[in-house]
Amino acid sequence: MSNHKSEVEPPRLTARRDPYEVLNVPRDASEQQIKAAYRKLALKFHPDKNVDNPEAAEMFKEIAYSYSILSDPEKRQQYDVSGFEAVDLDGLEMELDLSNLGTMNTMFAALFSKLGVPIKTSISPYVLEEAINGTVTIRPLPLGRPVHDRVEKQVAHFYGVTISEEQAAAGVVVRVISQAQSKFKLLYFEQEENGGLGLALQEDSMKTGKVTSAGMYFLHFQVYRLDLTMNALAMAKDPEAAFFKKLEGLQPCEVADLKAGTHIFSVYGDNFFKSATYTIEAVSAESFKDSSEKLKTIESQLLSKRNELRQFEVEYKEVLARFTTVSNKFKEEKVAVEDLLKSRESIQASFSMTPQVKRHSSSSNLGTPTSHERAGTSADESPGEARDKSSKKKWFGINFKAEKKAH
């Protein structure tokens, strides 16, 4: 949920308030608490719902501004240490609300997405408003029975999953896949005191093989989601940096288990222009004990590997810098040695009383006879010897001709 711009503009208020105060969350608030607070406040002060209230528009900017700081772990840490001065506000991004973008802007967003630039999209405020008001239609989704459907862009289908005490103790997994590689969001809503639904969890679809998928795993142990920290263009430009940053996108899911009762999930169409086809399925982990144990092990290994890579990255950069220095030194030494050898050869050749013949002059004279050669003589022959040779050639030539005539 955001305004129509892709970058956050600082609010036009005389004094900037503490982001924690703006979102009304404690300083140790979890990522999910921050998201939930932001969505509620942004929905309340959204410009489309407050057309005649300019103060609400400024409040909306302040809310978005605060969320842009607290939703980024690095920016949040910088702010906690040194305040606003340490935060690079020019680079803060917001999520696009596609339901409020015009056709032209949507086309540009779709183009950038195709080029590998990650475009963060938000859920339409109208969908969230209907959920909060409790006016959505909820379909039953029995465990173990997949449902195939198609959802229009910026529209949501809601499903109710009812689980028993035994199923809650075993754990539940909800997954959505799209064979057509559609973009969608898998949402989990919690019941509010007023009977409405408040958004609690959100997973964006990701391409996995030949499908797009998203899943939520309520298995009584910490499960992580993997957020992209670099877009495709940046990854192609610097694959080494992309590798070291890949596991930095691991973020813990806030909800690890569900209690017995009915729980509400939703599939939100996140395509730019067309509807999204999908299959949603909820299963009890009781039938997938081996998979659950393997996932638990893998999650733990990934977390350990992330810490290892942080240390290895420092070592790798040091070795790489050393290798670059040595490699450049090798090239310099190679050129220096070759230059010295050439100079050595030239100096050695200079120890001679014989004039050095230039190659180009001798080659240019090839095929051009000297005056002696044109006369049929050499420089070592006397004029008399030359005349004898000439007369012999003529005599042999005459006899040869005479013999040919006799025949």
- pLDDT band with cut points at 50, 70 and 90 for residue 3: very low
Dihedral of alpha carbons 39, 42, 46, 50, sign: positive
Dihedral of alpha carbons 124, 129, 130, 132, sign: positive
Dihedral of alpha carbons 169, 261, 266, 248, sign: negative
pLDDT number for residue 73: 80
AA letter at 391: S
- Concatenated DSSP letters of 80-145: HHHGGGGS-GGG-B--B-GGGS-HHHHHHHHHHHHTT----B---HHHHHHHHHT---EEE--TT-
Distance of CA 53 to CAs 50, 58, 97, Å? 5, 9, 20
AA letter at 191: Q
CA–chain centroid gap for 143, Å, is 36
Please write the tens of the pLDDT for every residue from 233-283: 666 677 888 888 888 878 787 777 899 999 999 999 987 678 999 999 999
Q: Which candidate, 2, 3, 72, places its Cα nearest to that of 34?
A: 72
Long-range contacts of 137-145 (CB under 8 A, 24+ apart): 138/264, 141/265, 141/280, 141/282, 142/282, 143/167, 143/172, 143/282, 143/283, 143/284, 144/281, 144/282, 144/283, 144/284, 145/281
- pLDDT band with cut points at 50, 70 and 90 for residue 390: low
Distance of CA 152 to CAs 127, 160, 278, Å? 12, 20, 11
Please write the tens of the pLDDT for every residue from 279-336: 999 999 998 999 999 999 999 999 899 899 988 988 998 998 999 999 999 999 999 9
How do strand 206-208 and strand 211-218 relate by DSSP bridges? antiparallel
Count the Cβ atoms, other than its own, within 10 Å of residue 281: 17
User: What domains are defined for the chain?
Assistant: 1-94 (1.10.287.110)
Please write the tens of the pLDDT for every residue from 123-179: 888 888 889 888 999 999 999 999 999 999 889 999 999 999 999 999 999 999 999
pLDDT number for residue 229: 64
Q: Which candidate, 270, 266, 238, places its Cα nearest to that of 119?
A: 270
pLDDT number for residue 2: 35
36 compared with 393, residue with greater pLDDT: 36
* Residue 351 buriedness (CB in 10 A; 0-12 / 13-18 / 19+): exposed
pLDDT number for residue 119: 57
Q: Is the pLDDT of residue 65 over 70?
A: yes
Look up the pTM and report it: 0.60
